[in-house]
A and B are shown apart, each in its own frame.
Chain A
């Protein structure tokens, strides 16, 4: 176990012969040819799998009174129908399914139908007769704003907020709303369950393998050691696949009962209501500044909602760290709702918190008659504003991001007065936003093997959900062991391999490569000892180990059997001693059709400071994805609640609109040079979520600059913009 509790000194990753180079993804050829298997596609491991189809509740709150399965059971090809009346008892802790008549949310699983074919199961799933008693549910934040609210942990009341706010010469007091949003990753949640005796192998779409083994084992009541979870390839997650849903539990239970593999994919329609979503927010921003633009009062209250025990969307969090200001009132209030359960979605908190905060900063800049870039610059702070200089940032280059971006984007050409720039029918404007995303790290392990032919095998339970984990872990091993990329093979996404961080919260790349770094250090030591070299002095390069003028080919150290090292990284309290976050500055140019109000993004630039860049090609792609999702949050993404039944009515890929090719121009991404030795031995920080943090606000600030319409209820759709244009 390698403990990372002091800032990293010089280490072998500093060579940057392989790291920080734009290698193509090593899993690329498999993915572009359809050869990478996803959860529903393990036909070799489960050649005779039966097909399960989940039936979900059509009310948001109430009870199942009657459930008649006789027609479904008699339907052709049907092998079993499972409901709460015959489902095995499961543990409350975990993700139990079909455990009673109570309906807590629309889309809750109420039955499973298993048949020989998908078509038979789908048809039979239509033949259940279910009687419900519907109860009145709490489905709208508006109804609850003054009602039953609880405060979430982490609230801050510092200095004299009310006094400072009242006495300041410039201030904004505005409320923004952000809607429920859906991850809408491309691969539906799916599971293929295969039992061998009392051992279960579960091929599923998940981001963290040991959460599957503990969660499924805990739910269905078997030892964790008896479950192997496999997610070798995951078709996108964005947080949705941090959770265990009905597909995993019901496939496992049905396969055990039938003595035959069972596979289940949630239908696209089910995904929107059965699985988690990003919760809606109302955000009350009160910012006050002196004439010099320096913030004297920072107030951010978020109202959000979730089922009992849930967390909603903590949209005030980033405001604790982003700007200076001595008087601070930062709060999150939580209402109990009966909507589907909320959960983490890409940059939970920041993604929608910055939509409101960075719009409010734009409003403040206008009131101060100050350039929005300068307003952010004068409010930069190099330490945690709640703690003081004793907790500095590990590396904070927000000002440099802003300056670099302004220069590159041509910010000086922006006319601060809205509605002044025309291009044919288009009113054109520019907007800016700061970006911040916390930098969590977590323990992660890897097994590294030097094989007799001189190649290296890297194995870890880490997942690659499109993030590039295969490639950057290969780069890490190649760098550490001095072998070419072509000599490295990587296997991931299998709980039988060393426990790893998994993917989520931007922690995956930094944590998992640090685990690989630790295992490589151990292997280096083993190999140096075999060669008779001092492990501290030995150099690894060009497939050989060298010390002084002695040089030994790695291959010659292996002999007949491979040499294997297993180790993991654990992180100490450096994230407590130092505030750690990735920073960015986003610049948008948007055209608004003067006749229809249609907004079109014309240019978008993100300047990012993420410490060391492990692979500029895959890191840039992460930013492109975040930026595009940011555009979606600004302009179109909106899960609409039907308050009669408490469900998301636009539950498909056509009505829950996400950006398509035609919405997204060429995007520009710049990474500032840097390294963060307090973050990890890799000296990197998270990048997967930074792109979405602030981009949407840059877009809506550009809309305001283009046409003078400030839409405070996201998304800024053309109907809302047009209404503003006509007033």
Chain B
């Protein structure tokens, strides 16, 4: 670690530019850095119409184009089962299915999904009528705090379909013959972080559902 607290010694870096390299730092952020005297910003952005098919129901919305798919689900449609863990595509808590494929909904703008079929955790199953993967998570204790759980489950369900479709992973040995294994599951699920670390139990739940077991 560089223990010299004098920023001048470190040369010019992006971080240095943003945070300032002199004793007085006049500016707090990149926008301001570009032109601190910028007058009042642009007026309210126009909304954009978009229709989303969420869990089988069509929703016609007018959205600020900056709204992510995640925030559209949570804050506009009240579907708070999909979680915001990092808002950066780094944790996987916001995983949903778009036309059957798992994505991080925080990395996608809602207006990009005109007409798309979106499935969230609420669409997979609800108490009393749980999806087999949801039931297997309960049986195997594949969660603790529950916050990453909807993302883990959405990811698991789509991941098993990827096996069926012959999609390889980084640990696939033979592209012609993709074999289900714990190692494959762990690799393919590594985009979903669980800090409570129910990982072995999540793998057990997935193993059971893949094997046709219904919890």
Q: How far is the CA of A75 from the CA of B16 in the complex (A)?
A: 28
* A378: Cβ under 8 A from any B Cβ: no
* A133: Cβ under 8 A from any B Cβ: yes
Flag if B87 contacts A236 (CB, 8 Å): no
Flag if A643 contacts B4 (CB, 8 Å): yes
- Mark out the residues of chain A between 57 and 87 whose CB falls within 8 Å of any chain B CB in the assembled complex: 58-59, 65-66, 70-71, 74-77
Flag if A24 contacts B139 (CB, 8 Å): yes
Chain B residues with CB under 8 A of A36: 146
Flag if B41 contacts A127 (CB, 8 Å): yes
Flag if A186 contacts B199 (CB, 8 Å): no
With contacts A186-B195, A659-B197, A661-B187 known, is A132 near B139, CB below 8 A?
no
Q: How far is the CA of A664 from the CA of B204 in the complex (A)?
A: 13
Chain B residues with CB under 8 A of A467: 144
Q: How far is the CA of A99 from the CA of B41 in the complex (A)?
A: 28
With contacts A76-B44, A268-B87, A661-B187 known, is A31 near B29, CB below 8 A?
no
* A126: Cβ under 8 A from any B Cβ: yes
Flag if B27 contacts A130 (CB, 8 Å): yes
- Mark out the residues of chain B between 111 and 127 whose CB falls within 8 Å of any chain A CB in the assembled complex: 120-122, 124-127
Partner of A29, one of B1, B29, B79, B127: B127
* B52: Cβ under 8 A from any A Cβ: no
* B25: Cβ under 8 A from any A Cβ: yes
Flag if A74 contacts B41 (CB, 8 Å): yes
Q: How far is the CA of A664 from the CA of B41 in the complex (A)?
A: 49
Flag if A119 contacts B64 (CB, 8 Å): yes
Most-contacted residue by chain A among B26, B67, B84, B197 (CB, 10 A): B197
Partner of B149, one of A32, A58, A265: A32
B37 nearest in chain A by CB position? A129
With contacts A32-B137, A32-B143 known, is A37 near B86, CB below 8 A?
no
Flag if B86 contacts A666 (CB, 8 Å): no
Flag if A466 contacts B10 (CB, 8 Å): no
Q: How far is the CA of A402 from the CA of B23 in the complex (A)?
A: 57
Chain A residues with CB under 8 A of B10: 644
Flag if A33 contacts B3 (CB, 8 Å): no
Chain B residues with CB under 8 A of A664: 186, 197, 199-200
With contacts A24-B141, A25-B141, A142-B3 known, is A658 near B85, CB below 8 A?
no
Flag if B145 contacts A33 (CB, 8 Å): no
Chain B residues with CB under 8 A of A634: none
Partner of A645, one of B19, B134, B187: B19
A47 nearest in chain B by CB position? B78
- Mark out the residues of chain A between 635 and 673 whose CB falls within 8 Å of any chain B CB in the assembled complex: 640-646, 649, 652-654, 658-662, 664-667
Interface string of B124-154 (1 = CB under 8 A from A): 1111101000110111010111111110010
Flag if B121 contacts A625 (CB, 8 Å): no
Flag if B145 contacts A236 (CB, 8 Å): yes
Q: Distance in Å from the Cβ of A271 to the closest Cβ of chain B? A: 9
* B66: Cβ under 8 A from any A Cβ: yes
Chain A residues with CB under 8 A of B27: 129-131
A268 nearest in chain B by CB position? B86
Q: How large is the interface on B (under 10, 10 to 19, 20 to 34, 35 or more residues)?
A: 35 or more
A124 nearest in chain B by CB position? B41
* A686: Cβ under 8 A from any B Cβ: no
Flag if A652 contacts B90 (CB, 8 Å): yes
Q: Distance in Å from the Cβ of B150 to the closest Cβ of chain A? A: 5
Looking at A290-298, A453-461, A616-624, the stretch in contact with chain B turns out to be A616-624
B193 nearest in chain A by CB position? A660
Partner of A132, one of B24, B128, B150: B24
A140 nearest in chain B by CB position? B3
Q: Distance in Å from the Cβ of A145 to the closest Cβ of chain B? A: 12
* A34: Cβ under 8 A from any B Cβ: yes
Flag if A624 contacts B201 (CB, 8 Å): yes
Flag if A625 contacts B196 (CB, 8 Å): yes
- Mark out the residues of chain B between 166 and 215 whose CB falls within 8 Å of any chain A CB in the assembled complex: 182, 185-187, 189-203
Q: How far is the CA of A434 from the CA of B143 in the complex (A)?
A: 27
Partner of B138, one of A29, A131, A134, A143: A29
Partner of B145, one of A41, A66, A234, A666: A234
Q: How far is the CA of A27 from the CA of B122 in the complex (A)?
A: 16
* B100: Cβ under 8 A from any A Cβ: no
Flag if A186 contacts B141 (CB, 8 Å): no
Flag if B144 contacts A625 (CB, 8 Å): yes
Flag if B25 contacts A628 (CB, 8 Å): no
* B105: Cβ under 8 A from any A Cβ: no
* A169: Cβ under 8 A from any B Cβ: no
Flag if B186 contacts A31 (CB, 8 Å): no
A236 nearest in chain B by CB position? B145
A139 nearest in chain B by CB position? B5
With contacts A143-B3, A184-B195 known, is A33 near B130, CB below 8 A?
yes
With contacts A130-B28, A233-B146 known, is A186 near B153, CB below 8 A?
no
* A307: Cβ under 8 A from any B Cβ: no
- Contacts A43-B78, A644-B16, A662-B186 supplied; 16 other A-B pairs, CB < 8 Å: A29-B127, A33-B150, A34-B82, A36-B146, A58-B18, A129-B27, A130-B28, A236-B144, A629-B195, A644-B2, A645-B15, A660-B193, A661-B190, A661-B192, A664-B199, A665-B200
- Mark A residues whose CB is within 8 Å of B: 24-25, 27-38, 40-41, 43, 55, 58-59, 65-66, 70-71, 74-77, 117-120, 123, 126-134, 136-137, 139-140, 142-143, 183-188, 233-238, 265, 267-268, 465-468, 617-618, 620-622, 624-625, 627-629, 640-646, 649, 652-654, 658-662, 664-667
- Mark B residues whose CB is within 8 Å of A: 1-7, 10, 15-16, 18-20, 23-29, 31-32, 36, 38-41, 43-45, 64, 66-67, 71, 74-75, 78-88, 90-91, 93, 120-122, 124-128, 130, 134-135, 137-139, 141, 143-150, 153, 182, 185-187, 189-203
The 10 tightest CB contacts between A and B, nearest first, are A34-B81, A235-B147, A466-B145, A466-B144, A31-B146, A628-B197, A76-B44, A28-B138, A29-B127, A653-B90
14 A-B pairs with CB atoms under 8 Å apart are A32-B149, A32-B150, A43-B78, A59-B20, A123-B41, A128-B29, A128-B32, A130-B27, A134-B24, A238-B195, A652-B88, A658-B195, A665-B200, A666-B203
